[in-house]
Amino acid sequence: MPEIKVLSEEVISKIAAGEVIERPASVLKELIENSLDAGASRIEIEIKRAGRGLIRVHDDGRGMDREDLRLSLSRHATSKLNSFEDIYSLATFGFRGEALYSIFAVSRLKMSSCPAGSEFGFAIEGEGGRVTAEIPAPPVKGTTIEAADLFFNTPARAKFMKSDAAERAHLIKTVEEAALANLGTAFRLVIDGSEMFSLPVLPGGMWENLKSRASVIFGKSIYAGLARVEGKTSGMAVYGFVSRPDALAATRVNQHFFVNRRPVGSALLKQALYRGYGHMLTGRHPACALFVELDPGAFDANMHPQKRDVKFSSENEIFKTISGTVYEELLKKQTAAVELGTKAGGSKFAVSDVPGYREPQAPPQPAAETGGLFDFSPAGAEAPGPVPSDWRGQDLSYLGQLAKSYLLFECGAGLLVVDQHAAQERVLFEKYLEEFSTGVIKVQPLLVPLEAELSRSQMETALKWRDWMKTAGFEIDQRGPSVALLRAAPALFYFTQNAFSEFLGYLSEVLGEPEKAAEDVKKNIIATMACKKSIKAHDFVKPQEALRLMEDLKKAKDGHHCPHGRPTLFFLSAADIARRFQRSSAV
Ligand code: ADP
Ligand code: MG
């Protein structure tokens, strides 16, 4: 018969720790939540060696006396919950009374605290759940908790940790989310001795503070693409920032959702956001800091120890309110933008605006319906005129340029219309990939390096990929916590300051995700982005340049599409033209 044993307290505490403390960021999250619950107006965080070395959180909150300090370390010790019923109406963050107990079980812990007005502070030290010292501490109002050598006594768990860069990214995200959700508290984050950010509480209202924090946390370029949304229905409110439909990104890394100012991961909220973009989405992803305020009884966030999952009691209502708010606000802004655009003379020239571009029998475009007004899918891509397969073999005679964007050629008896930038991108793209795969990228050092302002997590990724970027012909350097420098680039490309900033910001989002993506995919991504952002030849094109571009395009493997898949050209046959004039024959 197997012998039944009762587990020792030490083993029990490690098991409990395993549930609550998954990685350094979970420790940090718990400590920050405790500081917020203690009413802190300022929280200072210090991290060493990606949280494995040290996680230190100092707050100016209400503090604990000697007795509370001791108690706080025991299991199910909490000052926030008296009865089980409270769980359903609790407005504070934690309730399980397990966090400090669990952190203590797997680290060397030092806590010092002093309640307001008290003359003495007090400190407790210990490791692996055992107290080793209780000593007086200076009477500094608030609490300081240091968790050092995380998982020192659970080597199996330590092995599950990801790279330093990955753990650091989680730590930074934890602070970013806390700072977005708690605008009345100042945050400062120091990692390995250097300040990542300091977010004071500014005079002015909630929006002022949210804006200034979002611009630091998202970085200037993503921030510039955000729109403010706000909506209300009975029993709930939604507000925050979401990407404008013309500023969507390649990945979802910059999405932050909050329910009652608590960061959450929720498929429902995510889906509702995406639904809010409807057809404007085009396979790309919005950034967001989206806040939902609900009656605390209307959802349950405590079923999972990590407390990121939420369950809502009325999912339909929430889904509708969020998607409806996002949709309406974006529609309003988009309509305003379109109206402005036409007043300014309509310098933006979309293919579908070309009179007579569509087949005459095609039904008229629905105007106010979802498709017409703000169709962000590649304009007109759904119905390009058939491309004569033999245009490569034909003599082209250059007719001229239209709207500084399109090159017109006579081809056979028809008209070949070429999107100049799309064609240039395609040619550049293939030349670069050719150089890349033969290993001979011509690199051009920059006399004056270009700068890119990045968010913290983008910078993490950029640094992680620095070596690979070098093989791609880009020499990246860091200056300060949020500025990356470009010292050399492939000679094929020419970037402006802004273009480089967008290129790198975007790239460090995309490269962040598919760590294990095939080399080909990564090459493709960097080539696509570089071509998009690199300056093309001048808008005005001389006839020889137009013809040379067509020679290059003829040689391209896929001359019919730009690297993003938009068509580079379409063809109006002589018969098409004749039909428009209601002639019975082509000529
Ligand atoms: P919980 O937060 O679920 O109550 P914890 O283990 O995280 O459980 O904390 C236990 C208790 O210790 C809290 O209820 C609170 O009374 C006290 N405490 C923890 N951190 C702080 C802090 N920074 N300031 C004041 N009190 C704290
Ligand atoms: Mg807690």
CB atoms within 10 A of CB 248: 19
With the most atoms of ligand 1 within 8 angstroms of its CB, the residue from 37, 55, 144, 262 to mutate is 37
Ligand nearest to the backbone CA of 36: 1
- Tell which atom from ligand 1 comes closest to the C-alpha of 143: 23
At 109, the pLDDT band (50, 70, 90 cuts) reads very high
- Of residues 188, 235, 158, 174, the one with CA closest to residue 26: 174
Weakest mean pLDDT among 44-48, 252-256, 329-333, 354-358: 354-358
Return the structure tokens found at 279: 């057809």
* Residue 330 belongs to some domain of the structure: yes
Total structural domains in the chain?
Answer: 3
Task: Note whether 202 and 185 are within 8 A (CB).
Answer: no
Residues 220 and 184 in one domain: no
Weakest mean pLDDT among 108-122, 337-351, 424-438: 337-351
For residue 397, the one-letter residue type is S
Residue 476 has pLDDT above 60, yes or no: yes
Q: Which residues pair with 256 in a beta bridge?
A: 289
Residues 159 and 21 in one domain: yes
Predicted confidence at residue 85, as pLDDT, reads: 54
Q: Give residue for tokens 């008896």.
A: 413
The pLDDT of 419-448, averaged and rounded, is 91
- Tell which atom from ligand 1 comes closest to the C-alpha of 30: 7
Weakest mean pLDDT among 91-105, 316-330, 356-370, 455-469: 356-370
Return the structure tokens found at 478: 């860091």
The pLDDT of 159-187, averaged and rounded, is 92
Strand, coil or helix: what is 462? helix
Residues 243 and 146 in one domain: no
Containing structural domain, residue 98: 9-199
User: Distance between alpha carbon 35 and the CA centroid of its chain, in Å?
Assistant: 27
Weakest mean pLDDT among 32-36, 108-112, 386-390: 386-390
Give the residue with greater pLDDT, 574 vs 75.
Answer: 574
From 307, 328, 353, the end of a domain falls on 353
What is the CA(166)–ligand 1 centre distance, in A? 28
Please state, for a pLDDT cut of 90, what percent of the chain lies above it: 44
- Tell which atom from ligand 1 comes closest to the C-alpha of 35: 23
From 199, 215, 235, the end of a domain falls on 199
Residue 269 has pLDDT above 90, yes or no: yes
Task: Note whether 288 and 243 are within 8 A (CB).
Answer: yes
Residue 137 has pLDDT above 70, yes or no: yes
Ligand nearest to the backbone CA of 100: 1
What is the CA(28)–ligand 2 centre distance, in A? 11
Burial of 376 (0-12, 13-18, 19+ CB in 10 A): middle
At 304, the pLDDT band (50, 70, 90 cuts) reads low
Residues 279-292 pLDDT 10s: 667 678 999 999 99
- Tell which atom from ligand 1 comes closest to the C-alpha of 96: 3
Predicted confidence at residue 403, as pLDDT, reads: 87
Residue 216 has pLDDT above 80, yes or no: yes
Residues 329 and 211 in one domain: yes
Angle at CA 224, nearest 5°, toward 222 and 230? 95
The number of residues in the chain equals 587
* Residue 410 belongs to some domain of the structure: no
What is the CA(271)–ligand 1 centre distance, in A? 34
Residues whose CB falls within 8 Å of the CB of residue 66, separated by 6 or more in sequence, listed in order? 122, 134
* Residue 67 belongs to some domain of the structure: yes
With the most atoms of ligand 1 within 8 angstroms of its CB, the residue from 34, 37, 96, 144 to mutate is 34
Closest residue to atom 17 of ligand 1, CA basis: 72
- Of residues 459, 506, 507, the one with CA closest to residue 485: 459
Which CATH number fits the domain that encloses residue 318? 3.30.230.10
* Residue 540 belongs to some domain of the structure: no
Residue 299 has pLDDT above 80, yes or no: no
Residues 14 and 116 in one domain: yes
Residues 243 and 127 in one domain: no
Residue 451 has pLDDT above 80, yes or no: yes
Which CATH number fits the domain that encloses residue 189? 3.30.565.10
* Distance set, CA 186 to CA 62, 176, 200, 245, 418 (Å): 16, 12, 5, 32, 54
The pLDDT of 171-175, averaged and rounded, is 95
Q: Which residues pair with 258 in a beta bridge?
A: 263, 291
Give the residue with greater pLDDT, 91 vs 189.
Answer: 189
Predicted confidence at residue 370, as pLDDT, reads: 28
Residues 103 and 171 in one domain: yes
What is the CA(128)–ligand 2 centre distance, in A? 18
Task: Note whether 543 and 420 are within 8 A (CB).
Answer: no
Closest residue to atom 16 of ligand 1, CA basis: 79
Residue 364 has pLDDT above 50, yes or no: no
Closest residue to atom 27 of ligand 1, CA basis: 34
Counting Cα atoms < 13 Å in the Cβ hemisphere of 489 gives 23
What is the CA(41)–ligand 2 centre distance, in A? 17
- Tell which atom from ligand 1 comes closest to the C-alpha of 59: 23
Residues whose CB falls within 8 Å of the CB of residue 94, separated by 6 or more in sequence, listed in order? 30, 33, 34, 37, 78, 80, 307
Q: Give residue for tokens 């009652």.
A: 260
* Residue 85 belongs to some domain of the structure: yes
Highest mean pLDDT: which of 81-85, 121-125, 356-360? Answer: 121-125
- Tell which atom from ligand 1 comes closest to the C-alpha of 61: 24
Counting Cα atoms < 13 Å in the Cβ hemisphere of 229 gives 35
The pLDDT of 217-237, averaged and rounded, is 90
Give the residue with greater pLDDT, 374 vs 123.
Answer: 123
**pLDDT mean across residues, the chain:** 81
Q: Give residue for tokens 């609900």.
A: 294
Residues 131 and 232 in one domain: no
The pLDDT of 193-197, averaged and rounded, is 93
The pLDDT of 461-488, averaged and rounded, is 92
Residue 376 DSSP class: -
- Of residues 178, 186, 146, 136, the one with CA closest to residue 47: 146
Ligand nearest to the backbone CA of 101: 1
Give the residue with greater pLDDT, 375 vs 221.
Answer: 221
Ligand nearest to the backbone CA of 99: 1
* Residue 1 belongs to some domain of the structure: no
Residues 154 and 111 in one domain: yes
* Residue 484 belongs to some domain of the structure: yes
Residues 291 and 218 in one domain: yes
In DSSP notation, 382-397 reads TSPPPPPTTTTTS-EE
For residue 417, the one-letter residue type is V
CB atoms within 10 A of CB 538: 9
Which CATH number fits the domain that encloses residue 473? 3.30.1370.100
Task: Note whether 189 and 197 are within 8 A (CB).
Answer: yes
Ligand 1, residues at Cβ distance < 6 Å = 30, 34-35, 38, 59, 61-64, 72, 77-80, 94-101, 143
Residues 288 and 324 in one domain: yes
- Tell which atom from ligand 1 comes closest to the C-alpha of 142: 24
With the most atoms of ligand 1 within 8 angstroms of its CB, the residue from 72, 75, 144 to mutate is 72
What is the CA(189)–ligand 2 centre distance, in A? 20
From 299, 323, 353, the end of a domain falls on 353
Ligand nearest to the backbone CA of 61: 1
* Residue 557 belongs to some domain of the structure: no
CB atoms within 10 A of CB 102: 25
Residues 379-393 pLDDT 10s: 333 334 566 677 888
Residues 74 and 154 in one domain: yes
